[in-house]
Structure 1
């Protein structure tokens, strides 16, 4: 992907308010953002077109965040991902190339690490 292209981020969380906040902050920061409120919709979004970064909650009905990562990485191997959870012990060890953030998430902190995840600088 050319560095001049707008990075596409998929945010997955079963809480609508969290999806809204993430979508607003990331869009204002200049990212092309799609949201899904469950893992199955996230996989459908991934099938419709590739993303440059996945940000997912860990605990969700149906598919947890790690399952979402594995499903989307079947479509785009090496997809950078960020798992967010209020319980790091429950989330456990992250797969290769996956970062972890504890809830509550600082939007400034999130915006600070995204470029390193998608390979567009520091």
Structure 2
């Protein structure tokens, strides 16, 4: 089962994404701060299959997480298109607002890249 970590300080958005991805059969862990995600990664020594993180998360932007979890595919969400230019090449950008169908495609395309 694929594990997705979602990091956002918007509780309603976390709930919506978790319910939608769980419905797809994915295991989802949510974090409302960057620090909580850092701690979970360091304590569990377990890597998620993909991380979906809000750019404007408290303690962010999530670039420190990008470096800590460099072997984990990462998607950064933001309503500001300028953010995309600030991301490393291996990090995907997801424009807010988004449709749930699009988030499935972005996650699947990030994790199951051909090649």
Q: Provide the TM-score with structure 1 as the length reference.
A: 0.83
The question of whether the paired residues in 2 share the 8 Å contact of 1:58 and 1:91 is answered with no
The question of whether the paired residues in 2 share the 8 Å contact of 1:43 and 1:72 is answered with no
Unaligned 5+ segments in structure 2 are none
Matched residue SS, 1:83: strand
Q: CA deviation at 1:67?
A: 2.4
Alignment partner of 1:29 out of 24, 33, 36: 24
| Inter-CA distance 85–23: structure 2 relative to 1 (3 Å threshold) | same
1:37, 1:91 → 2: CA distance? 22
RMSD between aligned residues: 1.7
Partner of 2:95: 102
The runs of at least 4 aligned residues of structure 1 exceeding 3 Å deviation read none
Please, which moves more after superposition, 78-87 or 93-102?
Answer: 93-102
Q: Provide the TM-score with structure 2 as the length reference.
A: 0.87
Aligned residues: 112
Q: CA deviation at 1:91?
A: 5.4
2:54, 2:8 → 1: CA distance? 5
Alignment partner of 1:56 out of 49, 53, 70: 53
Unaligned 5+ segments in structure 1 are 1-5
Matched residue SS, 1:88: coil
